[in-house]
């Protein structure tokens, strides 16, 4: 049995390695060096944008936990990253060229992996893992669209509002209420007085914007007005739009606030909340600075910043299972950023899990059950969770991992408890031979 893997980025390289390590022959298709995408700069596999692309390495950080899980599971990417590590405080930084070169050499020298240097323009018959990346070639992108149907594969302007963790919202300055008290109180309301609103609008209208790639701004704004553009149209524009206070009463004053920012739950567990109407293309640092001026969000933890750019990804909750496989055909799987995971480490994790699950199926073994108490499992469950509203790519964060059984007030202690519980599960799975 031979499995085809399309793409030799981090997800594809990890998937090919995990399959090969389990004795399965792999044909790894990579269009480099004959054809390069705008993101490609070298002939090596698993290219990184910068030396610090793998981010934090502490267990109190969700991506640090994800990396440690992958290390213990025998990840090729994490092995090569450790071997080419450079000093960067609490982060896992690497010599980019040395890292990519090592991954390439490992892949090319594996007896069960055959590299085929050509562009794939159609989805092969399974078993196959497609890990062609966010800059998938036009031909393959069209093939994936045809495979799923036009509603399944999107190529459009991704306009998403920021997300914050529930525990970071200051509920002493916010309250639950629906406008006019209609139905259940489904929104968290964050009041602003006139002075606070004036300062907020001033900073919002002068904050630095990120470049919108692919189309002219006017084409974006027709369908989705960024909050900063609304603010520039007049001092009260936001108060008649997403910050409208009508129908709400601040329990602290018993009166209608001057302005209100509403937050809506973004997942079933109510651990992540969306800033309603806050589509934006401000730079990430500016979003943190300006949106933290909202009193109840002064200590907000942003798990995703607002984005407005051309993006291509699957509507994974409708299409893929928790192992990144097509719900209709488990012998066709996807991995990497096209599945809705954001970031290099997350892409690696998706390639790992897609390959481990496919290997188990092909070899007649039980597919390993990575629970939601692990970062690897939680990420797979996030991209396949049909209850997620307005599905958008996301980095790993503790809010999508099952919380600890007992309430722990201090954030660092709580995160460490989650990490230790997760690693105990991973160690058991490794010992059992995943």
pLDDT tens-digit series, residues 91-114: 788 888 899 999 999 999 999 999
- How much of the chain exceeds pLDDT 90, in percent? 67
Same domain, residue pair 187 and 205: yes
- Domain of 382: which CATH number? 3.50.50.60
Q: What is the DSSP string of 276-342?
A: TT----B-HHHHHHHHTTSGGGTT--EEE--EEEEEEEE-HHHHB-TTSBBSS-TTEEE-SGGGTB-
Q: Same structural domain for residues 217 and 171?
A: yes
User: Which of 258, 275, 308 is the last residue before a domain boundary?
Assistant: 308
Reduced to 3 states (helix: H, G, I; strand: E, B; else coil), residue 14 is: helix
pLDDT in tens, 308-348: 766 678 889 999 999 999 999 999 999 999 999 988 999 99
Q: What's the rounded Cα separation, in Å, for the pair 126 and 137?
A: 20
Specify whether 415 is located in the same domain as 361: yes
Claim to verify: residue 145 and residue 9 sit in the same structural domain:
yes
Convert the pLDDT of each residue in 106-144 to its tens digit: 999 999 999 999 999 999 999 999 999 877 888 898 899
Residue 395 belongs to domain spanning = 2-152+315-431
Question: Where does the pLDDT of residue 267 fall: very low under 50, low under 70, confident under 90, or very high at 90 and above?
Answer: confident
Q: Is residue 270 part of a domain?
A: yes
> Where do we find the tokens 């390993």?
368
Q: Is the pLDDT of residue 356 over 60?
A: yes
> Is the domain of 131 the same as that of 204?
no
298 belongs to a structural domain: yes
The CATH number covering residue 177 comes to 2.40.30
Q: Which two tokens stand for residue 66?
A: 């994800």
Query: Considering the domain boundaries, does residue 378 fall inside one?
Result: yes
**Beta carbons of 206 and 283 less than 8 angstroms apart:** no
Residues in the chain: 434
Residue 157 lies inside a defined structural domain of this protein? no
Same domain, 73 and 114: yes
Phi, psi values for residue 92, rounded to 5°: -95, 95
Six-digit token pair at 215? 């189309």
Task: Please report which confidence band the pLDDT of residue 218 belongs to, taking 50, 70 and 90 as the band edges.
Answer: very low
Q: What's the rounded Cα separation, in Å, for the pair 30 and 9?
A: 9
Please report, rounded to a whole number, the percentage of residues in the chain having pLDDT higher than 70: 90
Q: Which residue has the higher pLDDT, 319 or 40?
A: 319
Q: How far apart are CA 359 and CA 424, in angstroms?
A: 24
Decide if 158 is inside a domain.
no
Q: Is residue 297 part of a domain?
A: yes
pLDDT exceeds cutoff 80 at 405: yes
**Whole-prediction pTM:** 0.76
Q: Is 357 helix (H, G, I), strand (E, B) or coil?
A: helix
Question: Is the domain of 294 the same as that of 326?
Answer: no
Boundary of a domain, candidates 261, 291, 308: 308
The answer to whether residue 263 is domain-embedded is yes
Peptide bond into 33 cis (omega under 30): yes
Q: Give the chain's domain count.
A: 2
Residue 299 and residue 325 share a domain: no
Q: Please check whether residues 304 and 334 belong to one and the same domain.
A: no
Residue 182 lies in a domain: yes
Look at the block and give the residue holding tokens 């022959």. 25
Whether pLDDT at 213 is above 60: no
H or E element at residue 274: strand 272-275
pLDDT-based confidence at residue 34 (cuts at 50, 70, 90): confident
Residue 81 and residue 24 in one domain: yes
Same domain, 145 and 21: yes
Q: Identify the domain boundary among 272, 290, 308.
A: 308
């Amino acid at each position: 049995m031979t499995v085809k893997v399309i793409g030799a980025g981090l997800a594809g390289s990890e998937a090919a390695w995990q399959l090969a390590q389990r004795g399965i022959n792999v044909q790894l298709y990579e269009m480099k060096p004959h054809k390069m995408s705008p993101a490609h700069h070298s002939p090596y596999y698993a290219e990184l944008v910068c030396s610090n692309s793998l981010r934090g390495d502490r267990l109190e950080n969700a991506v640090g936990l994800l990396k440690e899980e992958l290390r213990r599971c025998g990840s090729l990417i994490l092995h090569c990253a450790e071997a080419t590590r450079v000093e960067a405080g609490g982060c896992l930084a690497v010599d980019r060229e040395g890292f990519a070169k090592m991954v390439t050499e490992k892949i090319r020298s594996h007896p069960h992996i055959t590299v085929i240097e050509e562009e794939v323009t159609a989805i092969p018959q399974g078993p196959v893992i497609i890990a062609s990346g966010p800059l998938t070639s036009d031909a393959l992108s069209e093939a994936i669209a045809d495979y799923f149907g036009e509603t399944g594969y999107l190529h459009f302007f991704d306009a998403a509002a920021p997300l914050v963790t529930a525990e970071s919202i200051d509920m002493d300055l916010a309250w639950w209420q629906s406008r006019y008290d209609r139905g259940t109180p489904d929104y968290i309301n964050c009041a602003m007085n006139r002075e606070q609103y004036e300062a907020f609008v001033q900073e919002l209208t002068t904050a630095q914007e990120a470049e919108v790639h692919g189309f002219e701004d006017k084409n974006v704004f027709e369908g989705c007005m960024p909050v900063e553009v609304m603010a520039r149209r007049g001092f009260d524009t936001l108060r008649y739009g997403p910050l409208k206070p009508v129908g709400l009463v601040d329990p602290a004053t018993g009166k209608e606030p001057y302005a209100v920012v509403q937050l809506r739950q973004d997942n079933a567990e109510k651990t992540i909340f969306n800033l309603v109407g806050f589509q934006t293309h401000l730079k990430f640092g500016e979003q943190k600075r300006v949106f933290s001026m909202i009193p109840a969000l002064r200590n907000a933890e942003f798990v995703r910043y607002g984005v407005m750019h051309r993006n291509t990804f699957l509507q994974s909750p409708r299409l893929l299972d928790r192992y990144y496989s097509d719900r209709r055909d488990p012998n066709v799987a996807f991995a990497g950023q096209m599945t809705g995971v954001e970031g290099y480490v997350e892409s690696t994790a998706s390639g790992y899990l897609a390959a481990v699950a496919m290997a188990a199926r092909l070899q007649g073994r039980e597919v390993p059950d990575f629970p939601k108490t692990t970062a690897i499992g939680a990420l797979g469950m996030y991209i396949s969770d049909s209850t997620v509203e307005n599905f958008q790519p996301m980095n790993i964060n503790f809010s999508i991992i099952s919380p600890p059984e007992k309430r722990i007030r201090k954030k660092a202690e709580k995160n460490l408890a989650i990490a230790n519980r997760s690693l105990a599960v991973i160690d058991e799975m490794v010992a059992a031979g995943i």
